[in-house]
């Protein structure tokens, strides 16, 4: 691509008050309001004692400004200024400066973050009623739980401490904060965030997991999950507290167990004839032998876990694979990966379903590539509120994607921002009728108009697009 002749002598000026760079925020934020975001905030978030008298005024307007900025790509407080440039104040009311929003976030306490977390759960339920963001929830729902460590570098970060994380397959210690998150997904729908809770960096991965799982199951049921709910997690969550939380909530569980002598004895008692190969989706078949190139095999046995406290008896499903470090041995050397489940699926299918727990990593990737690239405040509660706003934004973008096209329903957040949100437009009012002039030949114009048509109805009187 080459610059046209003459433009190298042009004079650029940032002076047009009729241009907006994020026209896609119009249908997306209207969708947020149709799902009751401002109303829920007004009902549930109440900051009564403040350091600055005006800091807690209009929490609904300030939190929706934060969500709008995050949807447009802001990953720190200063970048929230993106919702104030050009004609954005003409397109939206109650647009706040980053300094005001940062001051507002610093007024949060632990109790206020719990209020905001309740807003996030209720807003997800409303989005599920308004859109197909959780299509198929009435038949099967998957609740996944995991944590991550977000590194921080400032010495004034409250709660920052050294915790374990994995980089390039190696366990390392990093100074940071550790969000614990739960997601809800279905066989038809991509995962959305059911809850997120910020913790200090050194917090154990499973701390608070039982209450998070309970909240996620209740949220799934409120959103319309009348069928089976399966809770999945790795070894940090294969604890008696999490299993009992699932049983109390009448949900199934599929959780990795930490190896101990009892688990090792149960695996050793499985006979050689009980193992069968498992065909993972996308597995390659050897054209010469017709057999799977993967040598993974699965078997199961009945196992009683947590016998010293409140024993639970269920299925112990074990996947074994050849140890590639010992391929020239006289007898095969296997590595065993057990998980504890009360699901009613066949052994091989239960293993495939359990391994899809990794879908929660796609949510983490979206959050890290967006609002959770940074935890921007020095105050722990402000960062907690920021993380919850990031979850609200993720769910909102996911819901907007389902109203746009089948491909956008499963697209990454960065793709949704590039295709749908960050679309430039020029504001006009010919004959006092609001009009949005969007770029001609925009590659995703049809999908953008589909979202617009789904969000707006004739009763709301949307401005025309061109």
CA distance 300 to 317: 4
368 has a pLDDT exceeding 80: yes
DSSP element (H, E) containing 380: helix 380-402
Strand-pair category, 170-185 with 161-167? antiparallel
Mean pLDDT over 92-112 rounds to 93
Residue where the block lists tokens 């570098």 = 153
Write down the pLDDT at residue 41.
97
Does residue 75 register a pLDDT over 70? yes
CB within 8 Å of 356: residues ≥ 6 apart: 142, 232
Whole-angstrom distance, CA of residue 142 vs CA of residue 49: 40
Cβ–Cβ under 8 Å, residues 224 and 128: yes
Return the axis-axis angle of helices 110-130 and 209-222, rounded to nearest 10°. 30
**How many whole angstroms separate alpha carbon 129 and alpha carbon 157?**
39
Q: Average pLDDT of 216-221?
A: 97
Asked whether the beta carbons of 194 and 220 are under 8 A apart, the reply is: yes
Whole-number pLDDT of residue 194: 97
0.85 surpassed by pTM: yes
- Residue that the structure tokens 């929230």 belong to: 80
Judged on CB neighbours under 10 Å (0-12, 13-18, 19+), 199 is: buried
Q: Per-residue confidence at 130, pLDDT binned at 50, 70, 90?
A: very high
Mean of pLDDT values over 75-80:
94
Place of tokens 């996911």: 398
- What is the C-alpha to C-alpha distance for residues 54 and 99, in angstroms, rounded to an integer? 13
Average pLDDT over residues 354-379: 94
What pLDDT, on a 0 to 100 scale, did the predictor assign at position 434?
Answer: 87
Task: For residue 232, report the phi and psi dihedrals to the nearest 5 degrees.
Answer: -120, 145
Q: Which residue has the tokens 């104030």?
A: 84
State what percent of residues in the chain have pLDDT above 90: 71
Q: What mean pLDDT do residues 333-362 have?
A: 92
The tens digit of pLDDT for each residue in 17-69 reads 889 999 999 999 999 999 999 999 999 999 888 888 788 889 999 999 999 99
Which residues, in sequence order, are CB contacts of 374 under 8 Å at separation 6+? 75, 76
Please, which residues have CB within 8 angstroms of residue 31's CB and are 6 or more apart in sequence? 127, 130, 131, 396, 399, 400, 403, 455
Structure tokens belonging to residue 68 = 């709008």
CB 293 within 8 Å of CB 283:
yes
| pLDDT at position 347 | 93
Per the structure block, which two tokens stand in for 241? Answer: 């507290």
Q: Is the pLDDT confidence value at 430 over 90?
A: no
Beta bridge partners of 269: none
Instruction: Say how far apart CA 428 and CA 158 lie, in whole Å.
Output: 47
Separation between Cα atoms, residue 305 and residue 231, nearest integer Å: 17
Find the mean pLDDT for residues 332-340: 87
β-sheet bridge partners, residue 161: 176
How far is the C-alpha of 392 from the C-alpha of 87, rounded, in Å? 25
pLDDT at 186: 96
Query: How much is the pLDDT for 465?
Result: 52
The enclosing H or E element of 354 equals helix 347-355
Contacts of residue 113, Cβ cutoff 8 Å, sequence gap at least 6: 198, 381, 384, 385, 388
For residue 403, is pLDDT > 60?
yes
Higher pLDDT, 123 or 334: 123
Is pLDDT of 293 > 70?
no
Residues 6+ apart with CB under 8 A from 32: 64, 67, 123, 396
Name beta bridge partners: 173: 164
Nearest one of 19, 8, 30 to 424, comparing CA atoms: 19
Predicted confidence band of residue 291 (pLDDT cuts 50, 70, 90):
low
DSSP letter at 285 equals B
Q: Is the pLDDT of residue 461 over 60?
A: no
State the chain's mean pLDDT as an integer: 90
Instruction: Domain ranges for the chain, please list them.
Output: 257-341
């Amino acid at each position: 691509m080459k610059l046209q002749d003459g433009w190298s002598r042009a004079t650029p000026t940032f002076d047009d008050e009729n241009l907006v760079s994020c026209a896609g925020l119009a249908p997306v934020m209207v969708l947020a309001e149709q799902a009751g975001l401002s109303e829920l905030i007004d009902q549930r978030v109440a900051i009564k004692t403040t350091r600055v008298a005006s800091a807690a005024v209009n929490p609904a307007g300030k939190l929706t400004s934060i969500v709008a900025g995050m949807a447009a790509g802001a990953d720190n407080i200063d970048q929230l200024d993106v919702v104030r440039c050009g004609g954005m104040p003409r397109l939206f009311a109650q647009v706040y400066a980053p300094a005001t929003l940062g001051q507002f976030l610093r007024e949060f306490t632990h109790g206020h973050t719990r209020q905001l977390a309740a807003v996030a759960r209720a807003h997800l339920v409303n989005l599920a009623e308004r859109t197909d963001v959780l299509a198929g929830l009435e038949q099967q729902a998957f609740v996944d739980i995991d944590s991550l460590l977000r590194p921080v570098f400032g010495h004034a970060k409250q709660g920052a401490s050294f915790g374990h994380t994995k980089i390039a397959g190696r366990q390392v210690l990093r100074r940071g904060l550790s969000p614990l998150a739960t997601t809800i997904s279905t066989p038809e729908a991509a995962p959305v965030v059911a809850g997120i809770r910020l913790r200090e960096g050194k917090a154990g991965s499973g701390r608070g997991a039982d209450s998070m799982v309970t909240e996620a199951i209740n949220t799934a049921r409120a959103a319309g999950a009348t069928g089976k709910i399966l809770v999945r997690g790795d070894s940090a969550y294969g604890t008696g507290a999490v299993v009992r939380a699932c049983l109390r909530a009448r949900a199934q569980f599929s959780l990795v167990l930490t190896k101990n002598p009892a688990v090792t004895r149960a695996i050793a008692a499985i006979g050689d004839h009980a193992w069968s190969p498992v065909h993972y989706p996308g597995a390659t078949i050897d054209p010469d032998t017709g057999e799977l190139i993967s040598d993974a095999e699965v078997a199961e046995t009945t196992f009683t876990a947590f016998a010293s406290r409140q024993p639970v008896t269920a299925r112990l499903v074990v996947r074994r694979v050849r140890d590639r470090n010992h391929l020239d041995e006289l007898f095969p050397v296997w590595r065993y990966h057990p998980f504890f489940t009360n699901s009613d699926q066949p052994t091989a299918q239960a293993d495939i379903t359990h391994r899809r727990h990794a879908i929660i990593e796609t949510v983490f990737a979206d959050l890290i590539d967006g609002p959770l690239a940074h935890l921007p405040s020095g105050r722990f509660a402000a960062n907690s509120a920021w993380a919850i706003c990031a979850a609200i934004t993720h769910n909102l973008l996911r819901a907007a994607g389902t109203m746009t096209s089948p491909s956008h329903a499963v697209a990454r957040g960065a793709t949704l921002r590039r295709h749908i949100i960050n679309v430039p437009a020029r504001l006009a009012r010919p004959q006092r009728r609001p009009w949005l002039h969007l770029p001609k030949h925009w590659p995703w114009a049809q999908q953008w108009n589909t979202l617009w048509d789904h969000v707006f109805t004739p009763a709301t009187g949307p401005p025309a697009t061109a």
